[in-house]
């Protein structure tokens, strides 16, 4: 199937959807566009793209990634899926690039007059734009010749280029963020490491509680704590466990990350909760007056 056939098929699909929803005016538009694409692909592609000249205000996430949908008469109809329109836009754009007269140049002066700042440096195109939200942040990014030519279609099509740049930047950030132990270790070893750290919480949890209890007791009056070397070892084990949980968690995506954290903390807290709910043996005795006086005057 050629690109023109793909565009024609998508227009036919949209015409069927418009008919099902009772949009007679759109049926006429889609049918006319389909005929133009079949008769004159370059002109037909440009006519389809002109339907998206109004603006860009809708985002959707299909299975193959995030795309940004230009608005216009096509977008305004209540179709069952915005993907139908966005796919049409992308296919028409590909058809326009494939059928328009070959050109390796861009009318930079015309773009500048329309408010689009694109420059040519050493055979490479760069665009300068404001990428700020509440604050103004100026960016300069390299774009391809096709993207520069897409910007010539109009300011709203230039917005599509900017949104694609932002999406590519976000994708690179996420790739860098998650390029870590998961990428360096085979998957089975990585999951085994997560399982080991989670199970280690069964010991690390009580160890941290023991350290906290020892530190708290040390500040109480008439209390003497011995074996600080053991307390230090328990604190080291608990600290290393916490570091391992954080290190493995930040290398995961949201769902797996929080599942791992909840399971690890749950296993760490389980022995402590059980020890509270199941009381141990309590022994009591009576001190002699001399022993009571000795304890009263005890100074560690």
Note the pLDDT tens digit of each residue in 31-74.
888 999 999 988 888 888 887 765 433 333 333 333 333 444 55
| For residues 174-201, average pLDDT | 70
| For residues 145-174, average pLDDT | 83
Q: Which of 99, 116, 146 finishes a domain?
A: 99
Number of domains in the chain: 3
Q: Is residue 203 part of a domain?
A: yes
Query: Would you state the structure tokens that stand for residue 189, as one six-digit string?
Result: 């070893």
**Tens-digit pLDDT profile for residues 253-282:** 667 778 888 998 999 888 888 877 766 565
Instruction: Give me the pLDDT at residue 88, please.
Output: 77
pTM: 0.48
- Residues 166 and 188 occupy one common structural domain: no
Quick check: 184 pLDDT over 60?
no
Across 63-72, 146-155, 180-189, least confident range:
63-72
- Residues 242 and 265 occupy one common structural domain: yes
Yes or no: say if 70 and 164 are a contact pair by the CB < 8 Å rule. no
Cα–Cα distance, 217 to 194 (Å, whole number): 34
- Residues 241 and 270 occupy one common structural domain: yes
Q: Which of 78, 99, 120 finishes a domain?
A: 99
| For residues 224-252, average pLDDT | 83
Across 81-90, 137-146, 214-223, least confident range:
81-90
- Residues 163 and 189 occupy one common structural domain: no
Yes or no: say if 253 and 178 are a contact pair by the CB < 8 Å rule. yes
Residues 6+ apart with CB under 8 A from 9: 1
- Residues 25 and 93 occupy one common structural domain: yes
> Looking at per-residue confidence, does 217 or 44 come out higher?
44
Within 54-186, residue ranges assigned H as helices are 73-76, 82-99, 108-113, 145-151, 155-178, 181-184
Q: Is residue 300 part of a domain?
A: no
Cα–Cα distance, 131 to 28 (Å, whole number): 39
Size of the chain in residues: 300
Cα–Cα distance, 186 to 21 (Å, whole number): 51
- Residues 12 and 91 occupy one common structural domain: yes
- Residues 8 and 26 occupy one common structural domain: yes
- Residue 224: pLDDT band by 50, 70, 90 thresholds? low
Question: In the chain, pLDDT over 90 holds for what percent of residues?
Answer: 4
Quick check: 179 pLDDT over 60?
no
Question: In the chain, pLDDT over 70 holds for what percent of residues?
Answer: 73
- Residues 150 and 221 occupy one common structural domain: no
- The number of angstroms, rounded, from the C-alpha of 44 to the middle of its chain's C-alpha atoms is 37
- Residue 181: pLDDT band by 50, 70, 90 thresholds? very low
Yes or no: say if 202 and 275 are a contact pair by the CB < 8 Å rule. no
- Residues 143 and 204 occupy one common structural domain: no
Q: Is residue 299 part of a domain?
A: no
Instruction: Give me the pLDDT at residue 138, please.
Output: 81
Yes or no: say if 222 and 298 are a contact pair by the CB < 8 Å rule. yes
Quick check: 139 pLDDT over 80?
yes
- Residues 125 and 192 occupy one common structural domain: no
Across 99-103, 124-128, 157-161, least confident range:
99-103
**What values do phi and psi take at 189, rounded to 5?**
-65, -35
Cα–Cα distance, 254 to 75 (Å, whole number): 32
- Residues 194 and 271 occupy one common structural domain: yes
Q: Which of 177, 198, 217 finishes a domain?
A: 177
Instruction: Give me the pLDDT at residue 49, please.
Output: 82
Enclosing domain of residue 35: 3-99
Q: Which residues of 42-56 are buried (b: 16+ CB within 10 A; e: fewer)?
A: eebbbbbbbbbebeb
Q: Which residues of 253-282 are buried (b: 16+ CB within 10 A; e: fewer)?
A: eeeeeeebbebbeebbeebeeeeeeeeeee
**Tens-digit pLDDT profile for residues 14-30:** 788 778 767 777 788 88
Instruction: Give me the pLDDT at residue 6, please.
Output: 87
Q: Is residue 13 part of a domain?
A: yes
Q: Residue 207 class from Cβ within 10 Å (0-12 exposed, 13-18 middle, 19+ buried)?
A: buried
Q: Is residue 121 part of a domain?
A: yes
- Residues 14 and 83 occupy one common structural domain: yes
Yes or no: say if 125 and 148 are a contact pair by the CB < 8 Å rule. yes
Residues 6+ apart with CB under 8 A from 89: 48, 49, 52, 69, 70
């Amino acid at each position: 199937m050629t690109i023109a056939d793909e565009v024609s098929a998508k227009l036919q699909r949209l015409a069927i959807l418009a008919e099902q929803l009772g949009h007679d005016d759109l049926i006429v538009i889609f049918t006319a566009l389909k005929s133009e694409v079949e008769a004159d692909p370059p002109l037909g592609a440009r006519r389809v793209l002109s339907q998206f000249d109004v603006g860009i205000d809708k985002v959707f996430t299909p299975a193959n990634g995030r795309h940004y949908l230009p608005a216009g008469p096509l977008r305004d109809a209540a179709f069952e899926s915005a993907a139908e329109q966005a796919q049409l836009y992308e296919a028409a754009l590909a058809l326009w690039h494939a059928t328009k007269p070959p050109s390796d140049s861009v009318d930079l002066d015309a773009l500048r007059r329309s408010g689009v700042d694109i420059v040519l440096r050493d055979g490479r195109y760069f665009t300068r734009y404001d990428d700020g939200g509440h604050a103004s942040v100026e960016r300069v990014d390299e774009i391809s010749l096709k993207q520069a030519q897409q910007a010539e279609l109009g300011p709203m099509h230039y917005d599509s280029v900017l949104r694609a740049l932002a999406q590519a930047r976000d994708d690179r950030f996420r790739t860098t963020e998650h390029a870590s132990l998961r990428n360096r270790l085979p998957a089975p070893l990585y999951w085994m490491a997560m399982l080991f750290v989670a199970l280690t919480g069964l010991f690390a949890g009580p160890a941290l509680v023991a350290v906290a209890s020892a530190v708290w007791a040390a500040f109480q009056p008439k209390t003497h704590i011995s074996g600080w070397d053991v307390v230090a070892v328990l604190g080291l084990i608990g600290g290393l466990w916490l570091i391992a949980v954080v290190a493995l968690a930040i290398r995961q995506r949201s769902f797996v990350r929080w599942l791992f954290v909840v399971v690890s903390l749950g296993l760490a807290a389980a022995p402590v909760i059980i020890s509270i709910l199941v009381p141990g043996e309590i022994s009591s005795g009576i001190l002699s007056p001399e022993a009571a006086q000795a304890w009263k005057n005890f100074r560690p």
